[in-house]
Structure 1
Amino acid sequence: MDEAAPPRTLADESRNGLARSREAAAVEIRTLAPEERHAARRVFRTAMLFLGPLPSAESAENTGGDAFAELDRRFGAFVDGELVGCVDSFASWLTVPGGRRVPHAAVSGVGVLATHTRRGLLTRLMRAQLEDAAGRGDVVATLRASEATIYERFGYGVATQVGRLEVTLARVRWRPTAPVGGPVRLVGPVDAWDLFARVHEEAAHQPGAVGRSSGWWNRRLRWVREAATAQLAVVHGEPGAEDGFALYEPVRTPDWHVDGNRAVHVTDFVAGTPAARAGLLRHLTGLDFVDRVEFLEMSLDDPLPAALTDARAVRLTRAEDETWLRLLDAQAALAARTYTGTGRVTVEVVDPLLAANSGVYEISAAGAGRVSTSGPADLRTGIAELGAVYLGGTRWWQLTAAGRVEARNPAAVATADTLFATAALPFAATGF
């Protein structure tokens, strides 16, 4: 005899009513119209708890602050006609090992209002964006994650890391063999904005570097104009032949003139040649009236400590994930980069969202491409794990040891690590 059903409570009725209302809600995922862009900024800032004042639509437009101004790439989630979620991106390039630049979607502005989470809206937004970017011919997508547990399920893996370096100037002594660099001169940070854009376009050639769109520069310029502290900038090289620049600002304190711990933050550091790097570093570490220089974003394997007689003058005070990378066209991405060593490995890739990427790829120093095999591939991986190792910043052995890559041929793990290795760690040096 069946047990009697427990009596329904008011809480049960409330939950059931909420479930029915969610099922009945009309959901639409689409690109945003021009007049909806300001509302999208409000949704994103509210979702991220950025509760400060938001510039008016007119103010943002006049100062170049309207996100990245590529409205056909901005998607919104509407529930019963109300905008409750959004995701944005801008067209860019990504430098891959070997120096090629591949078409790249730089993803930003991802958020869903707290009142509408846990309904699958983010999944629908991300899927729409991935399919759109792949359809445009973008080879990869990258983003900077506000939370580390969200984006792996959409195929993103941690491909690069970034560190914060603190230099104690009183301890800086350059080794006699350290490079000196060329001439460095001060420039107006606003007046030289076009110069910075040109230098970055020519100089950012390390694996992991991403292109900065005109919208990116416009928004950063607005930040500089509105900054509460003084903004300073230097460029390296003769006029017309500049190959590096640095932007920095003092960290003002009430007792700046008598403080024994005066700091300067380097907010942007771009060097296209060893000479540019050396000249800019010597300028920054030679500043008077300053006790510490903090480079807010530097590669974890930066050689600055090795160039000083006291390596402890430089401290890594923070390390965190930087680039989360997603392959949109695995065939094109694997074929675009170079590989090292004499080995050969086959990799089975599984991509639940973009099924065209799933398949077996053979990789060697001669190149990479999809193949047909009668037996199992040497390695089996998800698309997020392939994104993590793609630039060389994450190793195959690490993901295998973590249980995230299946090594059907254990010897293939070392072979894959050799093939994907890069001389230096990949590094983007551009936030968005």
Structure 2
Amino acid sequence: MVEQGGDRVGSARVEVPVAVVTEPELVREAYTVFKRAMAGLEFGPFDPVEVTEPGRFLAAYDGARIVGSANSFATHLTVPGGARLPHAAVSQVGVLPTHRRRGVVTALMRKQLTDAAAAGEPVATLRASEGGIYGRFGYGIASHVRSARIDRRKVRFAAPGAPGGSVRLADTDGVAVLAPIAARAAQNGAVSRADVWWRKWELRSAEHTGPSYLAVHSTEGVDDGYVTYRPLDTAGWFTSENKTIEVTELVALNPAAHQGLWRHLLELDLVDTVSIGTLALDDPLPLLFTDERAVTLGPVRDESWLRLTDVPAALGARTYGEAAPVHLAVHDALLPQNDGVYRIGADGAVRAAAGTPAQVTVSVSDLAATYLGGTRWWRLVAAGRVQAAEPDAVARLDRLFAVDREPYAGVFF
């Protein structure tokens, strides 16, 4: 069994050494371990040293050999109420297949999360390659997304005309135009992008050999949205009966930009279908059209897995709705300093006095799932994942944690 950063093998506990790697050759070795662990994923030819923030890449060792890796980037997460919290964007977690089930990931997670809390990063998120791994380390699914396909032949816009603003082609402008727009994205669940993220974007864009396009929306001379897209199956483009363009990213800071960019995409010549892989659950896209069946929505899937590394700081940073206060007991097996009872009310959240009885008890992973408002408390109770001494307290928690918009990050790292 995994315990305290190691496995119990019989009665002997095996420790897993973990250290920050900064030397270029060690960063490359750790990144190679990650690539080997991912098996089927393709990676660009770039040097990982060039797209890694110094002091954040962790390596787990078996003797002198690196057998596990975990990286992160210093960014910000927007939480309900608009506060932008310092945030660890976790990536490149992997263990060699020869060293699975030896406590390697536990050791890496404990070190990474402890370091994040000590650095003043009360939240961390990741994108999980498998769904059954990260819950035991205190992560919960905080946001969901879905794909969409639009049949251009069925498209009739419900509004008579564009709401204002203009769209320009900016195929060669790249990061200089994109980064300032993305930096202003402030929806609930938004994640800012580190400089090394943009550097990786540039390297991957340079690697892509087919056509790709960028369009930017502006309102009164101020850029407020962009879309990047590319055609699929260009070899058979002129003979295809379903010419498709794929949206690789769409960022819209307001409704005018959202409508203007979709109009641009759906008014392109020689296009039958427009697809997008990641869309917020409450994105108004289908409502743009008189026939909502022009949009085929894909299955819901998880997006942001959230971890609260500093529960008091994270709970105190977001805002809450109107309801009588609830005393919430939180249990965190990996970071026990987060254990305790918290008073959560419309006026904020604070740690309650010692001995205060709890009305609801929750694990830190299920608390993370509710934190951005993407999971309702009553659903966790119905699933048997939350214990409530007072049923009315659950209804109050749902009012306290309610949000106007579904959480959505819209970025992969």
Q: TM-score, normalised by structure 1?
A: 0.89
Residue in structure 2 matched with residue 5 of structure 1 by the alignment: none
- Check whether the contact 1:27–1:80 (CA below 8 A) recurs between aligned residues: no
1:132 paired to 2:122: no
1: CA distance, partners of 2:126 / 2:315: 19
Aligned residues: 404
**Alignment deviations for residues 309-352 of structure 1 (CA, whole Å, 9 cap, x no partner):** 10000111232100000001111111111111233211100111
Relative to structure 1, is the Cα distance of residues 54 and 269 closer, same or farther in structure 2, using a 3 angstrom cutoff?
closer
Residue in structure 1 matched with residue 294 of structure 2 by the alignment: 313
1:423 to 381, 404, 407: 404
1:176 to 148, 156, 159: 159
- Check whether the contact 2:74–2:86 (CA below 8 A) recurs between aligned residues: yes
Amino acid in the other structure paired with 1:49:
A
- Secondary structure of the residue aligned to 1:243 is strand
Residue in structure 2 matched with residue 42 of structure 1 by the alignment: 32
Amino acid in the other structure paired with 1:286:
E
Residue in structure 2 matched with residue 12 of structure 1 by the alignment: none
Task: Give the CA deviation at 1:50.
Answer: 4.0
1: CA distance, partners of 2:83 / 2:13: 49
Amino acid in the other structure paired with 2:37:
A
1: CA distance, partners of 2:401 / 2:140: 15
Relative to structure 1, is the Cα distance of residues 68 and 329 closer, same or farther in structure 2, using a 3 angstrom cutoff?
farther
Residue in structure 2 matched with residue 165 of structure 1 by the alignment: 148
- Secondary structure of the residue aligned to 2:168 is strand
How do 1:223-372 and structure 2 match up within 5 A?
Answer: 223-237=204-218, 241-372=222-353
Residue in structure 2 matched with residue 9 of structure 1 by the alignment: none
How do 1:205-224 and structure 2 match up within 5 A?
Answer: 205-224=186-205
Task: Give the CA deviation at 1:71.
Answer: 2.9
Amino acid in the other structure paired with 2:22:
A
Residue in structure 1 matched with residue 88 of structure 2 by the alignment: 105
Residue in structure 2 matched with residue 6 of structure 1 by the alignment: none
2: CA distance, partners of 1:77 / 1:176: 56
- Check whether the contact 1:31–1:71 (CA below 8 A) recurs between aligned residues: no
Relative to structure 1, is the Cα distance of residues 300 and 369 closer, same or farther in structure 2, using a 3 angstrom cutoff?
same
Relative to structure 1, is the Cα distance of residues 330 and 297 closer, same or farther in structure 2, using a 3 angstrom cutoff?
same
2: CA distance, partners of 1:45 / 1:406: 40
1: CA distance, partners of 2:220 / 2:158: 29
Task: Give the CA deviation at 1:232.
Answer: 0.2
- Check whether the contact 2:359–2:388 (CA below 8 A) recurs between aligned residues: yes
Task: Give the CA deviation at 1:275.
Answer: 1.1
1:85 paired to 2:68: yes
- Secondary structure of the residue aligned to 2:300 is strand
Residue in structure 1 matched with residue 368 of structure 2 by the alignment: 387
Residue in structure 2 matched with residue 194 of structure 1 by the alignment: 176
Query: Equivalent pairs: percent with the same residue?
Result: 45
Task: Give the CA deviation at 1:144.
Answer: 0.3
**Alignment deviations for residues 203-232 of structure 1 (CA, whole Å, 9 cap, x no partner):** x11000001001001101111111132110
- Check whether the contact 2:16–2:107 (CA below 8 A) recurs between aligned residues: no
1: CA distance, partners of 2:380 / 2:51: 34
1:156 paired to 2:155: no
Amino acid in the other structure paired with 2:273:
R
Amino acid in the other structure paired with 2:351:
R
* Aligned CA-pair RMSD: 2.1
Residue in structure 2 matched with residue 31 of structure 1 by the alignment: 20
Task: Give the CA deviation at 1:121.
Answer: 1.1
- Check whether the contact 1:66–1:219 (CA below 8 A) recurs between aligned residues: no
Structure 2 runs not aligned, ≥5 long: 1-8
Amino acid in the other structure paired with 2:38:
M
- Check whether the contact 1:181–1:277 (CA below 8 A) recurs between aligned residues: no
Residue in structure 1 matched with residue 4 of structure 2 by the alignment: none
Structure 1 runs not aligned, ≥5 long: 1-18
1:398 paired to 2:388: no
**Alignment deviations for residues 111-159 of structure 1 (CA, whole Å, 9 cap, x no partner):** 0000111111111111011111111000100000011010001100000
1: CA distance, partners of 2:130 / 2:314: 26
Q: TM-score, normalised by structure 2?
A: 0.93
Task: Give the CA deviation at 1:177.
Answer: 6.1
Amino acid in the other structure paired with 1:118:
R
Residue in structure 2 matched with residue 119 of structure 1 by the alignment: 102
